[in-house]
C-alpha cells in the first residue's frame, strides 16, 4: 500500500466517509463511545464484561477508520437481540478432536465474543503445539477481522482469521449473490517495527460501505456493484438490491470461495448462500462460521530471529524506490494504526446522521446519549 500527500484521515476516510461529511463531523472520545455502547448492550441482557468487550471491538473499528464495522452497527445488533435472534448470554461449548484443533459452538452469541474466545483458545494451543486452529459455528457477524488479528499479534503470535457472511457477491461470471464479502485476514508481529496486519475483503467494496453511502445520500463509485438486473450502478439503494463485485475479477471470487470453505464448510456452519442477511432476515439466526489460526513465530527459527527478519522485510518494503506521485510506502495495517493513534488523541469523527441514529437508540432504550467533544 502506498500513500501520497493527502491528509491521513482523508486518505482512510475516503473508504467510508466523504470529505464534506468528514469536515462537518462531530468528535467523540473513544472511552465515551465505549461507555455508551456498553450501557446500551447491558440493557439488553449482555453481561458487563461481555458488553465492554463488544463495545471495545466496535470502537476499535471506528478508531482505525473501518467505520462500516463500528458503532453504526449497534442498531441492528440491538434489534436482533430484542427479536431473540442473538443470544445475549451464550454458553459456548469447546470440543477438541485433536491437540492443536478445536471446534467452538458459539451458542448463537455475538460474533465478537465468539471471535475473542476462539482466538484465545487458538493461542493457548499454539503455546503448547506451535499451532492452534479453532473452527467456530453458531455465531453471528463478528465485526472487524483485525480485532482478532491484533489480539494475536499483541500476544506475540502470527494469525489467520476468516469468516463467511450473507450472500452479496456472485461467483465470477454470475449475477446473483452466493458468496459473502468475507474478509481475508492475516497478521504477523515484528520486532522494533509495527506488525503486518492484513484485513481485506475479496469485494471491491463491502456492503457496509454501500449501506453508509445510502444512509448519507451519497453515490458510490462505478465498479462497486451491479443492480438487480446485472447492470453497473452508482446508486447505493440499487446496489443493495443487487450484488457487489469481486476484486481482480475471478481472483477475488476464488478468495471468497476459499473463505466459504474454511469458515462454513469446515465448521458445520451455514455456507454457500445460506447465511441469512442480518438486516433483512428476521425469522432465524445467522449461524455464521469463522476460522482462526495462531502460530508461534519461533517454530522454524528463533522467535527473535523471526522478529528481526520481519523488521528486515518491512524495512525493504518501505525503502523501495517510490513510484511517481507517491511519497511513502505503507505496509498493511500501518495507516489504520496511525489513524488509531491520532483519533485516540483527537476523538473519533461521526457524521451528524450517525449520531442522530445513536441518540434515538439511547432514547428508545433509556440510556444517556453518547457524550461528544462538542457538548
Say if residues 29 and 373 touch (Cβ distance below 8 Å).
yes
Record the cell numbers describing residue 189, joined without a space: 508481529
Q: Measured at the alpha carbon of residue 369, what is the angle toward residues 61 and 82, in degrees to the nearest 5?
A: 75
pLDDT above 90 covers a percentage of the chain that reads: 86
Mean pLDDT of 8-36: 70
Confidence (pLDDT) at 245: 93
Beta strands 243-244 and 225-226: pairing type?
A: antiparallel
Confidence (pLDDT) at 205: 84
Say if residues 69 and 59 touch (Cβ distance below 8 Å).
no
What are the tens digits of pLDDT across the range 333-366? Answer: 999 999 999 999 999 999 998 999 999 999 999 9
What are the tens digits of pLDDT across the range 218-237? Answer: 999 998 999 999 899 999 99
Model-level pTM greater than 0.85? yes
Record the cell numbers describing residue 304, joined without a space: 527473535
Inter-helix orientation angle 111-129/146-154, to 10°: 30
| Mean pLDDT of all residues belonging to the chain | 92
Q: Show Cβ contacts of residue 316 under 8 Å, excluding neighbours closer than 6 positions.
A: none
Mean pLDDT of 308-325: 98
What are the tens digits of pLDDT across the range 249-261? Answer: 999 999 999 999 9
Residue 20: pLDDT band with limits 50, 70, 90: low
Residue 21: pLDDT band with limits 50, 70, 90: low
In terms of pLDDT, which residue wins out, 29 or 21?
29
**Gap between the Cα atoms of 301 and 311, Å rounded:** 15
What are the tens digits of pLDDT across the range 282-297? Answer: 999 999 999 999 999 9
CA 103 from centroid of its chain's CA atoms:
21
Say if residues 226 and 233 touch (Cβ distance below 8 Å).
yes
Provide the 8-state DSSP code for 109. B
- Termini Cα distance of the chain: 37
Confidence (pLDDT) at 208: 75
Residue 373: pLDDT band with limits 50, 70, 90: confident
- C-alpha atoms less than 13 angstroms from C-alpha of 215 in its C-beta half-sphere: 19
Amino acid at each position: 500500500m502506498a500513500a501520497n500527500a493527502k491528509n491521513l484521515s482523508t486518505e482512510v476516510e475516503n473508504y467510508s466517509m466523504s470529505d464534506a461529511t468528514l469536515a462537518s463531523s462531530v468528535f467523540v472520545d473513544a472511552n465515551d463511545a465505549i461507555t455508551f455502547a456498553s450501557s446500551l448492550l447491558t440493557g439488553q441482557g449482555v453481561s458487563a464484561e461481555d458488553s465492554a468487550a463488544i463495545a471495545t471491538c466496535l470502537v476499535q473499528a471506528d478508531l482505525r477508520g473501518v467505520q462500516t464495522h463500528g458503532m453504526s452497527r449497534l442498531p441492528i445488533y440491538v434489534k436482533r437481540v430484542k427479536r431473540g435472534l442473538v443470544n445475549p448470554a451464550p454458553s459456548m461449548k469447546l470440543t477438541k478432536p485433536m491437540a492443536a484443533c478445536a471446534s467452538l459452538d458459539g451458542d448463537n452469541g455475538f460474533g465478537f465474543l465468539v471471535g475473542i474466545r476462539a482466538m484465545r483458545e487458538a493461542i493457548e494451543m499454539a503455546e503448547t503445539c506451535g499451532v492452534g486452529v479453532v473452527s467456530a459455528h453458531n455465531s453471528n457477524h463478528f465485526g472487524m477481522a483485525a480485532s482478532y488479528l491484533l489480539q494475536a499479534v499483541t500476544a506475540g503470535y502470527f494469525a489467520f482469521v476468516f469468516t463467511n457472511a450473507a450472500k452479496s457477491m456472485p461467483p465470477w461470471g454470475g449475477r446473483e449473490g452466493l458468496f459473502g464479502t468475507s474478509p481475508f485476514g492475516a497478521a504477523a508481529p515484528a520486532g522494533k517495527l509495527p506488525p503486518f496486519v492484513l484485513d481485506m475483503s475479496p469485494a471491491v467494496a463491502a456492503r457496509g460501505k454501500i449501506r453508509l453511502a445510502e444512509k448519507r445520500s451519497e453515490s458510490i463509485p462505478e465498479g462497486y456493484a451491479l443492480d438487480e438486473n446485472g447492470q453497473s450502478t452508482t446508486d447505493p439503494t440499487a446496489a443493495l438490491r443487487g450484488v457487489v463485485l469481486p476484486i481482480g475479477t475471478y481472483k477475488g471470487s476464488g478468495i471468497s470461495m476459499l473463505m466459504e470453505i474454511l469458515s462454513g464448510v469446515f465448521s458445520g456452519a451455514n455456507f454457500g448462500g445460506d447465511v441469512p442477511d442480518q438486516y433483512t432476515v428476521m425469522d432465524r439466526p445467522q449461524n455464521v462460521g469463522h476460522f482462526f489460526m495462531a502460530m508461534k513465530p519461533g517454530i522454524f527459527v528463533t522467535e527473535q530471529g523471526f522478529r528481526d527478519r520481519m523488521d528486515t522485510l518491512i524495512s525493504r518494503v518501505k525503502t523501495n524506490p517510490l513510484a511517481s506521485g507517491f511519497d511513502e510506502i505503507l505496509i498493511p495495517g500501518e495507516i489504520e494504526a496511525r489513524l488509531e493513534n491520532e483519533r485516540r488523541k483527537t476523538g473519533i469523527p461521526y457524521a451528524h446522521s450517525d449520531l442522530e441514529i445513536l441518540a434515538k437508540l439511547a432514547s428508545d432504550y433509556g440510556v444517556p446519549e453518547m457524550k461528544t467533544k462538542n457538548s
